[in-house]
Amino acid sequence: MQQNRSQVTERDGLFELEAGSDVLDSPRYNHDMAPTKVRERTWNKWHITALWVGMSICVPTYTLGGVLTAYFGLTVGEALLAILFANVIVLIPLTLNAFPGTKYGIPFPVLLRSSFGILGSNVPCLIRALVACGWFGIQTMFGGLAIHLFLGSVFEGWKSLGGTGEVIGFMIFWALNLWVVIRGAESIKWLETLSAPLLVAVGIGLLVWAMPNVSMTELLAIPAKRPEGASVVSYFAAGLTAMVGFWATLSLNIPDFSRYAKSQKDQILGQIFGLPLTMFLFASLGVIMTAASVKLVGVTVSDPVTLIGHIQSPVWVAVAMALIIIATLSTNTAANIVSPTNDFQNIAPKVINRTKAVLLTGLVGLLLMGHELLKKLGLIVSDVSLETVYSNWLLGYSSLLGPIAGIMVVDYFLIKKQQLDLAGLYRDDVYPAWNWAGFVAFGVPVVLTLLSLGSDAFSWFYSYGWFTGSALGGIIYYGLCVMRAQPSAVKTAV
């Protein structure tokens, strides 16, 4: 017989929900969004390390050094330092926001119900989902190109398809990504675990190939592309903010993964082991490979897919493309599909299950890349490049996501004191439908960021968007929650 009221139990600091009819019949609940059982939390520190290795080794990481030197006016040494510092910094919100996911087994959208309200959580969720769908499309474009080059190395006639072959590759890779995520979290776990050592080996192989053709001394001596005599501080800070923005999305939805961690120690160590060093080393590899590309293939090439495509041996191209396909798949499934899948389910859990949400994610990602796909098919002509959109997006979206990260940390650690009503997060009678404190704390930094775009005096607010946004959002949220609590406290005392 089904129990009427849900029960919450604790095992070694991990909470588990035995759902009763009050939760099972709630419109805010479905099986995929439910808290994970303790027995389902099987990811140890090495699984989480593999997750970050799998997500970090990808084409965009490879191009980060080039983005910082070309668009942010940094030297190679400054660019690599910015990448290392940024990933150490982003570990802080990543680790803190992972805590409630590990403790309560809840995904990102459910955690947001505490700070933005049961219904209000959909607003930041959809902001996060749209960014993820955009990245899903970009990564799928790289994966599709790798499939096109792989097929071209195996079947001679495939090369003649040109842009059409790239679009076909895009659709194959698109379908493969959706299939992996539809199969569930265990499928992603094993994909990351098996691919991580393989991807590290690929990086080492590329480094061995490139090093005889590049001088590190000359590379580090290349002057920065910024006005002569300009202070490095503002350029470095802008680049640092952009690099923090690279994983700003994951610093929000990390509970989507930490809900499967065995313990807080596992999620903390896994992230420390897996993120900063992998990002730094693979970005460094990208800088070295780009510098060596002139001697290797005769032209400067800034992405590994195109670079390897210049190799004359079809066998080595096929092997390399297969490995890049695995690398891009391991990044895309975890970093760009899991979150929007949960975010879209949060809108109407009883109507949208995981399969429908994955398909919706795929559709939005496809539509966002429609312009680029039509260009490849020759149906439209445009000067807008994917690289330009990518580099500008890094700084812009981090400004929007910063306040959400600050609000989440303050709500869980300072306002809720790490205590959540687990069953109440799935009902309508504990947390408000809309928590206006969360929206004010989110809205003020966003408005100030937009206003700063038109002001030279306050341009720093945009340039340092993630830092200014997260700090201001957290401070405003804390202040509003404290002021709201004071009247009730006075009334109780009387």
Summarised one tens digit per residue, pLDDT across range 328-354 is: 888 889 888 999 999 999 999 999 999
Is the pLDDT reported for residue 463 higher than 80?
Answer: no
Is the pLDDT reported for residue 395 higher than 60?
Answer: no
Output 187 or 91, whichever has higher pLDDT.
Answer: 91
Neighbours of 451 (CB within 10 A): 12
Read off the pLDDT band of 308 (50, 70, 90). Answer: confident
Read off the pLDDT band of 9 (50, 70, 90). Answer: very high
Output 30 or 73, whichever has higher pLDDT.
Answer: 30
Highest average pLDDT, of 241-245, 250-254, 384-388, comes from 250-254
Task: For residue 160, count CB atoms less than 10 angstroms from its CB and return exposed for 0-12, middle for 13-18, buried for 19 or more.
Answer: exposed
Output 186 or 351, whichever has higher pLDDT.
Answer: 351
Read off the pLDDT band of 489 (50, 70, 90). Answer: very low
Read off the pLDDT band of 219 (50, 70, 90). Answer: confident
pLDDT of residue 450: 79
Is the pLDDT reported for residue 361 higher than 60?
Answer: yes
Exposure pattern of 390-409 as b/e (b: 16+ CB <10 Å)? Answer: bbebbbebbbbbbbbbbbbb
pLDDT of residue 75: 87
pLDDT of residue 493: 37
Amino acid at 70: A
Distance of alpha carbon 11 from its chain centroid, rounded? 30
Short-list 113, 109, 100, CA closest to 128: 109
Of 24-38, 91-105, 269-283, 397-411, which range is least confident? 397-411
pLDDT of residue 162: 86
pLDDT of residue 486: 67
Read off the pLDDT band of 217 (50, 70, 90). Answer: confident
pLDDT of residue 396: 61
Q: What is the mean pLDDT of residues 157-168?
A: 90
Short-list 145, 80, 81, CA closest to 286: 80
Is the pLDDT reported for residue 316 higher than 80?
Answer: no
pLDDT of residue 390: 57
pLDDT of residue 398: 55
pLDDT of residue 386: 63
pLDDT of residue 81: 92
Short-list 441, 256, 248, CA closest to 346: 256
Task: For residue 98, count CB atoms less than 10 angstroms from its CB and return exposed for 0-12, middle for 13-18, buried for 19 or more.
Answer: buried
Tokens of 135: 């990245």
The per-residue pLDDT for range 266-279, each reduced to its tens digit, is 999 999 999 999 99
Residue keyed to tokens 């191009």: 63
Beta bridge partners of 43: 261
Output 451 or 457, whichever has higher pLDDT.
Answer: 451
Read off the pLDDT band of 399 (50, 70, 90). Answer: low
Read off the pLDDT band of 3 (50, 70, 90). Answer: low
Task: For residue 62, count CB atoms less than 10 angstroms from its CB and return exposed for 0-12, middle for 13-18, buried for 19 or more.
Answer: buried
Is the pLDDT reported for residue 249 higher than 50?
Answer: yes
d(CA 244, CA 239): 9
Average pLDDT along the chain: 87
Name the DSSP class of 259. T
pLDDT of residue 487: 56
pLDDT of residue 384: 64
Task: State the DSSP string of 288-335.
Answer: HHHHHHHHHHSS---SHHHHHHT-S-HHHHHHHHHHHHHHHHHHHIII
Helix (H, G, I), strand (E, B) or coil at 261: strand
d(CA 242, CA 463): 9
Neighbours of 216 (CB within 10 A): 13
Q: What is the mean pLDDT of residues 360-380?
A: 89
pLDDT of residue 22: 93
Is the pLDDT reported for residue 402 higher than 90?
Answer: no
Is the pLDDT reported for residue 391 higher than 60?
Answer: no
Percent of the chain with pLDDT over 90: 47
d(CA 58, CA 66): 14
Q: Is 227 left (phi over 0), alpha (psi -120 to 50) or beta?
A: beta
Tokens of 102: 């590990």
pLDDT of residue 153: 86
What pTM was estimated for this model as a whole?
Answer: 0.88
Structural contact between residues 327 and 58, judged by C-beta atoms closer than 8 angstroms: yes
Pick the CATH number of 42-398 from 1.10.260.40, 1.10.4160.10, 3.40.190.10, 1.10.1740.10: 1.10.4160.10
Q: What is the mean pLDDT of residues 242-269?
A: 91
d(CA 82, CA 85): 5
Alpha-carbon Rg for the chain, nearest whole angstrom, is 23
pLDDT of residue 481: 96
Instruction: Specify the length of the chain in residues.
Output: 494
Of 36-40, 124-128, 180-184, 309-313, which range is least confident? 309-313
